[in-house]
Structure 1
Amino acid sequence: MAAREVGGETPKDVFFWRQDERLGNFGDALTLVLLDRLFEGSCLYPDHAIHLIGSVITAARTKAVLREAKRAGDETRRLLFWGCGKKDGLALDEEAHRRCTFLGVRGVLTREALGLGRDTPLGDPALLLPRIYRPTTHPATSGRVLWVPHVHFGDPTPEDLDGCPDHVVMRPDIPNTAQDCERFIDAIASARFVMANAMHAAIVALAYGVPFAFWSGSGVNAPFKWADFTSAFGVELDFHRTYAGALAAYDRTRPDRAVAELDLTPLLKVAPYRLRERL
């Protein structure tokens, strides 16, 4: 991956999905915004593979890190997860779990799957974005309904768009830069409503107080992770196909009120880097 500076230091061991591809994925690439705006200095946990966001607590990921470490003759290598989540309710095997440091997880479902204590901090780090980034108006989405498909699934169909007012579709396949992530945040924060088939489009909308819905689209990637996210603040949200149904559900459930009760201070207190002074 390209080197990123955190207060003058280069975090060599930070991982996020699709980081080495020409186009990344918005939610995972938010790692770069966190590195640029939330943290400073070097990592407080040397000799760890660092994971700051996303559904990366997987058997495949742990095996890949430990396999690479073994080839390098490193028997002490560990994985660190901060605010990340699982894609399913399965536990990691004993060896993998022993080599992981969990500083906080995305939701109750991940915490339970891993057998972590109830004092483990909860919350997706994208909920912290309003503390570190102030969006500007995005002319393409301002006042419009924004549809964000998952990177693996298709754009909205005429049936999805039936009855939807002025709308725009933006795919989350974006260059792996903090600036491109921030422009996508601008687009979400400027919208009147967000239909999200990509989970972090929903999370960012919620963080900035924009009405949103989980959109079923042409498929749902890892339903567990969506339920895990909302379990952190005690609500369950259904998936919707049309804007009319989604809007009615949002007005009925008001997840913005529930998430306002989620205290992210415990997650910040265990951050793997020093926080910038303004926080």
Structure 2
Amino acid sequence: MKLFYYQDPHGNFGDDVNAWLWNRFIPEAFQDENDGVTFSGIGTIIGPRMHDEGRWIVFGSGIGYGPPPPSFGGADWRIPCVRGPLTTRMLGLPESAAVVDPAVLIGTLPEYAPLPDSEREGVLFMPHHEALSTGAWRAAAERAGLGFVDPRDDSKQTIERLRRAKLVVADAMHAAIVADCLRTPWVAVSTSSETSTFKWLDWSQSLGMGYAPQRLPASTAQEGLRSATLHLYGKRFTTEPTPDAAVRHLTRDLASKRHPWSYRRRATGHALYRRVLKKGLAAKPLDGWRADADARSLDRAAEALRRAALGAGQLSEDKILGSKTAQLRDLLLKVGKEGWRS
């Protein structure tokens, strides 16, 4: 089989785990990449980037950014499981297909066994990878006294850091997912309206948890501008944190993206942001104002992180996590044994 997942050229924690995790469980399944079978794993990758050629196995993936290909669910598709109950609702799959995000399998690896509290220390913060483009979150975390985890860092080293922490403040969803399976308490935060409520609820609901993120203020003036203009180019994914609201929001978003004018509208909006608004804010006459605004923004962001770090954090119930993880592992071993026939 050939592995399908999103590969950010700069790296992104949750996606990068795909590169090595599956070979820890079913290495034999990936020995022949030319057998015409594609395996879709961790990530919000059920969408238009999936081609209609060959056969597919969808294992724990989720929907969230675009409509699936026309052939999805047809004779050439096997769907042992998806990430959660919101994905099954969107795709019309049976409820039994909703298991959990496959990253929970990390917690079954012996080198990542959960540690006792006596061997843990510190609070970590991991932002969404998109927050790094205009934000100053490393500086905000340092000012707040939190350890900073760059989502572009080596995934195995990141897992070890999450494993040894007492608490994880998570803007990146897979920071929470992996922390949870390592039994490290986590607090959900959101750095912008680009945070996908649908994705978070899809996972959290699969483990019987809610999702109520603490909104963090922009850490720079540019980040504030970007967050305020995300709607111009179809990047606003935050809505009321309830399953029904999240499904309605994604349904409308996918419907709009099916229209032929959708791409042009989003491209025009993004060009307006990049060429006019962003460039205007960076203009030299605004240097003094921008420096003052950045300093105030950094202070507010650091204070918000400090408050978030005071939370007790949350964890899924041991019994639910254990049951879902065992179910996922059994399904994966079946795929390894039977391949596409599973």
Do both proteins adopt the same fold according to a TM-score greater than 0.5, normalized to the shorter chain? yes
- After superposition, give the CA deviation of every residue in 1:143-182 in whole Å (9 maximum; x if it has no partner): 2221111111135659965994x312121113xxxxx321
Matched, 1:115 2:79: no
2:167 paired residue number: 193
Off by >4 Å, runs of 4+ in structure 1: 43-46, 155-164, 247-251, 256-259
Q: TM-score scaled to structure 1, two decimals?
A: 0.73
Does the residue aligned with 2:202 lie in a helix, a strand or coil? helix
CA RMSD of aligned residues (A): 3.3
CA contact (8 A) 2:142 2:148 kept: no
Q: TM-score scaled to structure 2, two decimals?
A: 0.61
- After superposition, give the CA deviation of every residue in 1:50-85 in whole Å (9 maximum; x if it has no partner): 112111111x122xx22xx3xxxxxxx122210111
Q: In 2, distance between residues paired with 1:214 and 1:201?
A: 9
**Number of corresponding residues:** 239
More strand by share: 1
Matched, 1:270 2:244: no
Displacement of 1:259: 4.5
- After superposition, give the CA deviation of every residue in 1:66-106 in whole Å (9 maximum; x if it has no partner): 2xx3xxxxxxx122210111116x86465333243211111
2:321 paired residue number: 260
Displacement of 1:262: 4.2
Counterpart of 1:148 (choices 123, 126, 130) is: 126
Does the residue aligned with 1:27 lie in a helix, a strand or coil? helix
1:203 paired residue number: 177
Q: In 2, distance between residues paired with 1:55 and 1:14?
A: 14
Go from structure 1 to structure 2 and tell me whether the alpha carbon gap of 1:228 and 1:160 turns closer, same or farther (over 3 Å shift).
farther
Displacement of 1:110: 0.6
Give the stretch that moved more between structures: 196-205 or 234-243: 234-243
One-letter identity of the residue aligned with 1:61: R
Matched, 1:104 2:74: no
Does the residue aligned with 1:95 lie in a helix, a strand or coil? coil
Counterpart of 2:49 (choices 46, 49, 61) is: 61
Displacement of 1:215: 1.6
Give the stretch that moved more between structures: 151-160 or 264-273: 151-160
Q: Structure 2 regions of 5+ residues with no counterpart?
A: 217-303
2:11 paired residue number: 24
Counterpart of 1:49 (choices 38, 42, 66) is: 38
Go from structure 1 to structure 2 and tell me whether the alpha carbon gap of 1:261 and 1:97 turns closer, same or farther (over 3 Å shift).
same
Q: Which has the larger radius of gyration?
A: 2
One-letter identity of the residue aligned with 1:273: G
CA contact (8 A) 1:44 1:273 kept: no
- For CA contacts below 8 A with separation 6 or more, give which structure has more relative contact order: 1
Go from structure 1 to structure 2 and tell me whether the alpha carbon gap of 1:121 and 1:224 turns closer, same or farther (over 3 Å shift).
closer
More helix by share: 2
1:73 paired residue number: none
CA contact (8 A) 2:106 2:112 kept: no
> Sequence identity, in percent?
23
CA contact (8 A) 1:233 1:258 kept: no
Q: Structure 1 regions of 5+ residues with no counterpart?
A: 1-10, 70-76, 175-179
CA contact (8 A) 2:42 2:60 kept: yes
Matched, 1:217 2:191: yes
Go from structure 1 to structure 2 and tell me whether the alpha carbon gap of 1:187 and 1:17 turns closer, same or farther (over 3 Å shift).
same
Q: In 1, distance between residues paired with 2:69 and 2:18?
A: 27
- After superposition, give the CA deviation of every residue in 1:204-253 in whole Å (9 maximum; x if it has no partner): 100101111122124443221111001102221211233465456645x5
